[in-house]
Structure 1
């Protein structure tokens, strides 16, 4: 008799833990089960497997200067890139990203037509989703896989030294809160800017006009650090 076919996705190549983050306990205790669940997932999901840890790969721990937290990747087919809020190159920004770029222009004068934010990541802006995969078309469809443990461990590591946190919306604020009460809290430590989410439903409730980009750069300059080039 012929052998049975493999389970859906069983041969799917998944990425290794990204350099600098590979010692996090998540990669020993959480990632094996999530990897098995992704291989068994019958639905198409995104981002592409090599991009699952792209945010961490582009921004290793020692490079992190700013954290922007998202929730889960965009569910629209082909749009998720492995970076929170970022679009693929050449795709016209819409919805939350369009509002982010509108506030960027109003705040700093920087006009961006492209929604690829990888240039921010390469300057130390960690664009981290708290859930790193999503079935195409199903917002929150991988919420139960256990990705949040990785976000918690990443934030715990990042919060050991002064960092700017842009926390857009209550979910991001709730995830970050336990990590922001340590010895670096306060004016001499972290910069924490909490606003409503930039989605079309809430951006006018306090995201617009918050000036997060210039405030981050003012904080970095005060620390004698190079500002972020938000046009990159």
Structure 2
């Protein structure tokens, strides 16, 4: 399988050296074998595996949010970290706990609530929603972690971080383990907290949400303040609050 043909041209250009490496050849071979054996069980769908790259062009990346691997439950994975299709009701059992807590954090920061769990509007504003494994087998979390996706993600992090003034949101130990690959960390804003899923959201010395739901880690507001300071337009995280826009004279 020519896996490279699913990657947008601008990302192919950024990753040109890597896409000629043994790591990429190994990843492509392993994924092809997995796809041939478990085609109907692989998520997201083949054409959506690189969805984060399609929705966020290289020259528009302002914020990077690192997830782990796609949702392994049916009907959820769409190639964007943390995001689910907009037709998944916010109060349903299908709606992931991570997204519930992201929604809660946004509200605690005074930014309003998400209209749905579909975060494609973030991606289109320059938020790269990147999982460290880009595929998974249905019902088997982390089942594709050993295919070699990590080598691709490391390359993306290293290449992107060569341009200054990006915001990196590293939620949980897994995402924070990738921090070492960010070049010139002093030229970026690196935000760290516990992972927003389940009860872990309150844990660690840097909770995503503080116990008792008193306040959030403030990452969304901090990101917008940083972007505005560096002459970049802030992210309309929910699209429902003037606070998301008033920081920037450029909108």
1:51 aligned onto 2:48: yes
Match of 2:34? 38
Q: Secondary structure at the match of 1:160?
A: coil
Match of 1:7? none
Match of 1:27? 19
Which structure features the higher share of helix residues?
A: 2
1:215 aligned onto 2:222: yes
Indicate if the aligned counterparts of 1:47 and 1:73 stay in contact, CA closer than 8 A.
yes
Indicate if the aligned counterparts of 2:63 and 2:127 stay in contact, CA closer than 8 A.
yes
Cα deviation 1:122-145 (Å, max 9, x = unaligned): 000000000000000000011110
Indicate if the aligned counterparts of 1:17 and 1:27 stay in contact, CA closer than 8 A.
no
Cα deviation 1:125-177 (Å, max 9, x = unaligned): 00000000000000001111000111001101110122000000011011132
Distance 2:4 2:190 in 1: 34
Indicate if the aligned counterparts of 1:15 and 1:50 stay in contact, CA closer than 8 A.
no
Question: How many residues were matched structurally?
Answer: 217
1:90 aligned onto 2:87: yes
Distance 1:102 1:202 in 2: 14
Structure 1, gaps ≥5 residues long = 1-9
Query: Deviation at 1:15?
Result: 5.0
Match of 1:67? 64
Distance 2:153 2:174 in 1: 12
Distance 1:87 1:27, change over 3 A: same
Cα deviation 1:96-121 (Å, max 9, x = unaligned): 11111110111133211400000000
Structure 2, gaps ≥5 residues long = 90-94, 210-215, 240-251
TM-score, with length taken from structure 2 = 0.81
Query: Deviation at 1:14?
Result: 8.4
Q: 1:142 aligns with which of 128, 141, 144?
A: 144
Query: Deviation at 1:221?
Result: 1.1
Indicate if the aligned counterparts of 1:15 and 1:52 stay in contact, CA closer than 8 A.
no
Q: Secondary structure at the match of 1:101?
A: helix
Distance 1:54 1:101, change over 3 A: same
The residue correspondences of 1:92-107 to structure 2 (distance < 5 A) are 92=89, 93-107=95-109
Q: 2:155 aligns with which of 153, 156, 176?
A: 153
Match of 1:4? none
TM-score, with length taken from structure 1 = 0.87
